[in-house]
Amino acid sequence: MTESTMLAAATDTPFVIAGRTLRSRLMVGTGKYKSPNEMVRAIDASGAEVVTVAVRRVNLNRDTDDGVLPHLDPSRYFLLSNTAGCYNAADAVRYARLARAAGFNEWVKLEVIGDQDTLLPDTAALLEATRTLVADGFVVLAYTNDDLITALRLEDAGAAAVMPLASPIGSGLGVLNPYSIRTIKHRLSVPVIVDAGVGTASDACITMEQGVDGILMNTALAAAGDPVRMAHAMRLAVDAGRQAHLAGRMPRREVAVPSSPSVGMLE
C-alpha cells in the first residue's frame, strides 16, 4: 500500500467524550504494576491518553509513598479518577468530589460495587450516584454491567459515557456476551467503552469488533508476563478490532464457498 492508501484505510471518526477528542481508544489503569517504572513504560507502549487513578489515604508513616502522580506527566496523560472500592452512592460521590478537588478535571469513572466476590456493580446505587454527580457538574463515565436497560437509564441520567464490563474486574475472561455489548452500542448515543475483563489481545480485538468506542483495561497489562509487550499488543489489537469493525466483516456461512473460480477447470 502507498502511504496515502494506508492513511485512507485508517480513517476513523474522532473519539469524543463530553466534547474532548481523545487520541487513543485504549484507556489504561495504573494499578497492580510491579514498579512505577514498569507502569510508566507499559502506559507509554499502550499509546493511551486517558489513564485511571484511585483516591486513597496518604500513608502517613512515610516508609512507603504510593502516590502515582509523580510518575505521570499531566501534560501527556488525561487523569481519570475512579471510585473503586465504594459500595454505596454516598461514598462514590464523596470519592468523586475528593478527586475533583485535586484540580485536574471534572471527570470521574464511577464505580459503585454491589458484591465483594464478583465486584459486579450495584446498578440502582450507580444510577443514584450518576444523577447526583451530573447535577454537580461532573462528567460521569459509568462502569456498569452488560445490561441494556441499565445502560439506557445511565444515558438518561446524564452519563457522558457508559462502560459495560466484558467480564468481571480482574478476571481476564474476555467478552462473555458480545451480543449484549453490541446491543448496548447500537442503542446508546453516548460513547460505549468496555471496561474490565479483557485478558489478552484477542479479547481486545473481539471487543472492538463489536463496534464499541473504546476499551479500558488494567490487569490485562499489569498482570501480563511482560506488561510492556502486552501493552504494545493491546494497542495493535484495539486498532485492528476497530478497523475490522469499520471494514465490516463478511457474512458467516454454514457451508463452504470456494475462493477460486469453479469455471476453467481442466477436462
Residues marked as catalytic: 109
User: Virtual CA dihedral for 77, 14, 208, 71, nearest 10 degrees?
Assistant: 0
- Give the interface segment with another protein, choosing from 25-33, 160-168, 176-184, 200-208 (CB under 8 A): 25-33
Q: How far is CA 128 from CA 55, 75, 94, 119, 155, in A?
A: 20, 33, 13, 18, 13
Q: Which amino acid is at 94?
A: R
52 binding another protein? (CB under 8 A): yes
Q: Are strands 139-144 and 15-17 parallel, antiparallel or unpaired?
A: unpaired
Q: Which of residues 142-201 bind another protein (CB under 8 A)?
A: 169, 196
Q: Contacting another protein (CB under 8 A), which of 26, 50, 55, 110? A: 55
Within a 10 A sphere around the Cβ of 219, how many other Cβ atoms?
18
Q: Residue 67 corresponds to which cell in the numbers above?
A: 502516590
- CA angle at 83 for the pair 191 and 31, rounded to the nearest 5°: 90
Nearer to another protein, 72 or 240 (CB): 72
Q: Is 29 in the site for another protein (CB under 8 A)?
A: yes
CB 216, min distance to another protein, A: 8
Q: Is 81 in the site for another protein (CB under 8 A)?
A: yes
Cell of 100: 475533583
Q: How far is CA 82 from CA 21, 93, 98, 152, 241, in A?
A: 20, 11, 11, 21, 26
- As measured in angstroms, the least distance from the Cβ of 110 to another protein is 13
Site string for another protein, 83-122 (x = CB under 8 A): -x---------x--xxx-xx--------------------
Among 134, 218, 234, 245, binds another protein (CB under 8 A): 218
At closest approach, how far in Å is the CB of 42 from another protein? 11
What CA–CA distance (Å, rounded) separates 168 from 111?
Answer: 13
**Which residues neighbour 226 within 8 Å (Cβ) at sequence distance 6 or greater?**
none
Q: Which of the ranges 122-130, 132-140, 217-225, 229-237 carries the binding residues for another protein, by CB under 8 A?
A: 217-225
Q: Which residue in the set 26, 79, 108, 159 belongs to the binding site for another protein (CB under 8 A)?
A: 79
Instruction: Please report, as ranges, the residues that interact with another protein according to CB under 8 A.
Output: 29-33, 39, 52-58, 60, 62, 66-69, 79, 81-82, 84, 94, 97-99, 101-102, 169, 196, 216-219
